[in-house]
Amino acid sequence: MAQTDQFRQEFIAFAIEKEVLRFGEFKTKAGRLSPYFFNAGLFNDGVSLMKLGEFYAAAIKNSGIEFDMLFGPAYKGITLAASIAIAFAKDGRNIPYAYNRKEAKDHGEGGTIVGSPLQGRVLIIDDVISAGTSVRESVELIKASGAEACGVAIAIDRQEKGLGELSAVQEVIANNHLPVCAIANLHDLLNYLTTKNMVQNLHAVEAYRQKYGVI
């Protein structure tokens, strides 16, 4: 197994262990009944957040996307960007990061951006891409600050149809002309379920992929 495939499989095992990745019947934002659900908000302690940042950093390095700083859209993106910055710092690269407020602050330092000033090539950090709204808003915010969005890093790519025949990730790539990297995707999840002989979950996820998936 290639090193890239190895860390993807390790990430899925980690997400299942922390019950961030669950199996059952869940209604998605698109109104679909999905046999699995991923909730990055449940990486909610120091050790799991540290490990998550390391998985993100590995995926980002593997992607080859060149960037100068990180941007985490509120709210989930805030802790994600911070954990990734720490992971890179442990690896010898000190990267600035920033995040936005949902509402502009009219006192103190004011404004909507917290952290390092947005400048250079900015990598957007999120957990998943559903409709691409968060990415679009982030790109506009970054551009308004005189910086340039250079890509998006997410935890898991569901590889299912968005508004049309493209996946939500493919739509973001096409609409924003940005590369997107993910720690793992639906293909990796199917591989994991096959390897671990989790037959019931495998059949349910495979049936869902047949109905809504994109290649």
Catalytic residue positions, numbered: 105, 107
Element housing 153 (H / E): strand 148-157
Query: Which residue is associated with the tokens 């922390």?
Result: 18
Q: Apex CA 43: angle with CA 20 and CA 14, to 5°?
A: 55
* Backbone φ, ψ for residue 49 (5° rounding): -70, -35
Contact between 150 and 95 under an 8 Å Cβ cutoff? The reply is no
Q: How far is CA 201 from the centre of its chain?
A: 23
Beta-ladder partners of 27:
33
Q: Apex CA 178: angle with CA 43 and CA 6, to 5°?
A: 45
